[in-house]
Amino acid sequence: MSRGSPGGATPLLLAAACGALLTLALPATGWWPAAAAMAGPYAAIANARRPRRAFAVGFWTGLPFFAVYLAWLPASLGDLLGPAFWAVFPLLVLALSCVWGGTAWLSWAAAGGGGRRTLWFLPVAWVAVEWARTQGYLAFPWGALGYAWLDTPVAQLASLGGVYLLGLLVTVPAALLALPLVTPRAALGPPTARLLLAPAAALLVVAAAWVGGRELESDAEAALRPPTRLALLVQGNVDAFARAGGAARDLRVHLELTREGVAEAAYQGSPPYDLVVWPEGAVLGYDMEGSGARELHEEISRSAPGAAFVVGARAYQGAESFNSLYSLRDGAVLGRYDKHYLVPFGERWPLHGSLPWLYDGLFGLFGLPPLASTSAGPPPAPLATPLGPVAAFVCYESVFPQVQRRQVADGARLLVLGTNDAWFARGAGAEQHFDMGRLRAIETRRWLLRAGNDGVTAAVDPLGRTVARLERGVAGTLTAPFALETGLTPWVRLGGWTPAALGAYLLAALAVLQAIRPREGVRVADRLRRR
């Protein structure tokens, strides 16, 4: 067998090259034309002669993609978890690559053994798997292809179908571009026609999405409320790895920064702040609901009199500990949001209750402190504030579209994120995290106020544009304009049907192909006899 044949090494090498190129399409690079690289693996999967070959193409596409796109991860968390994470990272990349391989294998099998029919399944199956990666105990949605459109007009279509619609606008054109590359065995019709029509159709899809996005952007901008309210976003820049001075120092840092920000605004004649946001974990080491908590609440409130506060802290309930955001005003707690989607192997440890001896042994081996898991809060619900209900969420949750969609559907008029991206150090992770979160503003047509411990601290408007941003790695405050928006986007209203819609398409495609396969086989046989 030649190396260039469908069973040789060349298709796998090309798939790997395409996977590496694909990383350039996503934030923070954001060179969206690189998304066309997905056409190469799609063609190789369709041309595969065996299911294991289809799996191999998907796997080798994913391996460089996830290894490159997540390259910041071991360097960032290696400082926290030590050499242990350098062993875990390859396993994570292998697992995600197997997910892509499995998607390719299932699409190939559903098509009855590859060929052009595979391209009916691949685009939707790929996006369906991206949705599946937002679900479950080990959910990890990093690397969804729809983010390639973030800084283009196409991103505005997220208000219609979320990041999953944007994902289809990557995978469907890729499948069309792949069509001329599928061998004649698997593709009917004159090759010359396919060579011309398929790329033209791909360009037409992208052009239509581009024009439609511009129209949506124009309509949305005209409907926006003027940002007449002001928030003070506090960036404490507290060392996430060594909190020298302990909880008392952390609290003083945020109190002093808030007082300075309020004083500076008063000096400049600015109106008083409506809202003050402190980042994730700003008030650690204190029981916000225990004895003496009232004095703490009052001290926080006095740092910006009359303003509403959203403050990152820990919440305790019996033996459980939650990563939470508290709503305060005038010394009173108005509400609490507990983080629901926890970081796998960071806040949530699979089977820890059943295998404590294993974790204790491993942590001891690498010289790490005893494991302390965070408990997951209830399903996301709006946080009560003096400004009305807001969609509050913590750090990792900004990459889960369902968190904000659910809260906005329940009445939230503003998105408020408290995060601590200091774990990411100066790698690409923090910027990727910020950029993915910007899409939540477009999906819901809500302002996003983001307070990070060391950044990214920023205000994002309902069109996904960054209107104010504080430099990373400094202690300071940011005055952020915002408005309380109303109305529900189609994504907010109907986004819960996404898995049903994707699944229905795949089942319908399977049924149609099963029905037409015999007749198609006869036509191919007749054509071969005539030759």
CB 92 within 8 A of CB 70: yes
pLDDT tens digits along 275-311: 999 999 999 888 899 888 999 999 999 999 999 999 9
In this structure, of 63-67, 327-331, 414-418, 425-429, the range with the lowest mean pLDDT score is 425-429
* CATH code assigned to 227-339+378-483: 3.60.110.10
Residue 334, token pair as written in the block: 């108005």
CA atoms of 85 and 493, how far apart (whole Å):
40
Average pLDDT over residues 104-111: 96
Regarding pTM above 0.75, the answer is yes
CA atoms of 386 and 275, how far apart (whole Å):
9
- Burial code (b: 16+ CB inside 10 Å, e: under 16) for 291-321 equals eeeeebbeebbebbeebbbbbbbbbeeeeeb
Domain boundaries, the chain: 10-222+494-530, 227-339+378-483, 342-375
Is residue 446 scored above 60 in pLDDT?
Answer: yes
CB 281 within 8 A of CB 243: no
What DSSP string runs through 227-265?
--EEEEEEE----SS--TTHHHHHHHHHHHHHHHHHHHH
Closest by CA position to 279, among listed 258, 307, 301, 304? 258
Average pLDDT over residues 108-137: 94
> What is the enclosing helix (H) or strand (E) of 482?
strand 476-482
What DSSP string runs through 391-428?
EEEEGGGGG-HHHHHHHHHTT---EEEEE-GGGGTTST
Closest by CA position to 306, among listed 230, 393, 249? 230
Sorted by sequence, the CB contacts under 8 Å of residue 443 that are 6+ apart come out as 158, 159, 162, 163, 401, 404, 405, 489, 491, 492, 495
Is residue 188 scored above 60 in pLDDT?
Answer: no
Query: CA angle, 478 as apex, 277 and 307 as ends, to 5°?
Result: 40
CA atoms of 109 and 520, how far apart (whole Å):
17
CA atoms of 149 and 288, how far apart (whole Å):
41
Residue 121, token pair as written in the block: 């399944």
CA atoms of 217 and 209, how far apart (whole Å):
12
State how far Cα 277 lies from the chain centre. Answer: 22
Peptide bond into 28 cis (omega under 30): yes
pLDDT-based confidence at 346, cuts 50/70/90? confident
> What is the enclosing helix (H) or strand (E) of 459?
strand 457-460
Is residue 527 scored above 60 in pLDDT?
Answer: no
Q: pLDDT over 70 for what percent of the chain? A: 85
Q: Check residue 74 and give its pLDDT.
A: 80
CA atoms of 14 and 501, how far apart (whole Å):
32
Q: Check residue 78 and give its pLDDT.
A: 61
CA atoms of 127 and 166, how far apart (whole Å):
9
pLDDT-based confidence at 86, cuts 50/70/90? low
CA atoms of 263 and 274, how far apart (whole Å):
15
Residue 468, token pair as written in the block: 């104010």
CA atoms of 446 and 469, how far apart (whole Å):
17
Write phi, then psi, for 115 (nearest 5 degrees): 85, -175
CA atoms of 218 and 223, how far apart (whole Å):
9
Q: Beta-strand (E) ranges in 318-414? A: 320-329, 332-338, 391-394
